[in-house]
Amino acid sequence: MVAVDFLHEIVTLLQMGLGTGETFEAVLHLVTKSVPYESASLFLYDEKTNKLEVIYQEGEEVVDLVREVPFERGMGMASWVSQQDKPIILESLSKSRPGKDGRFASFISLPLRAADKLVGVLNLGHSKANIYLQKEIETFSIMASDLSIVTETLILRQQLEKKNQMLSKALQELKETHGMLIEKERMAAIGELVVSVNHEINNPLTSIIGLMEILEISFSTMSAEKIQKAMKAVLLEAKRIQEITNRLTKINNSASMDYVGDTHMTILPE
């Protein structure tokens, strides 16, 4: 498969909207059409820590060499390769150090760079020698460039998804906070209303109680005219209470009314 076709299929995969792991799996499946491998490890570069970390792997072990040797960006050959400009190809490892239990006889490490910026490193391993040849280094360099685009795109996509999640969480928290504030304001308004209604009802109620106490004590000695005036006063105050309760039944969410009227005390006529 020519490099143009490889890049075209990669772009098609990115447009499918697959998850990160699914995309890497699909991309490496495309790699096998041009480059056979038995194991693969993709290292992502963290600019903040200046370290490489395995983010995707095919096979039981990390594909790398000299993992016990420390380099600037971590343990193993991938760290050293990350500082190179071209792929590192080891055609045959039969007489060198083929990795754990002599698993790899052929090894290639591709530094992934986008616009001269390190993105990561892709290591491929095979149990047979001479799978990866030095004469194909230019083809591998083109493939590494294409893979760099994929990796960088997925990194940006992950960052965007993370920011979207943070934004969604912040919006949810803001919504909850707004709801709490509305509830507090509602309870405060109810509290003010209760105080106002209590004050408004208490005045006519106090007048009614006072009038009735006077009537109870002086009923036998009061003239019919005074009794009638007292009963009218009681009726007036009772109607005031009725008016207040009627106002309460008209409360709704879209309008507010003044429920506190002028207070006064009914004076018993002489």
Q: Which residues make beta-bridge pairs with 123? A: 41, 109
Question: So what CATH class is 179-270?
Answer: mainly alpha
Contact 204, 241 (CB under 8 A): yes
d(CA 99, CA 27) in angstroms, rounded, equals: 25
Tell the CATH topology of 3-161: Beta-Lactamase (3.30.450)
Neighbouring CB atoms inside 10 A of 61's CB total 15
Q: Where are the domains of the chain?
A: 3-161, 179-270
pLDDT tens-place string over residues 33-50:
778 888 889 898 988 899
Condensed to tens digits (0 to 9), the pLDDT of residues 158-174 reads 788 889 999 999 999 99
Q: Are the C-beta atoms of 108 and 23 separated by less than 8 Å?
A: no
Mean pLDDT score across all residues of the chain = 81
Q: What is the pTM of this model?
A: 0.58
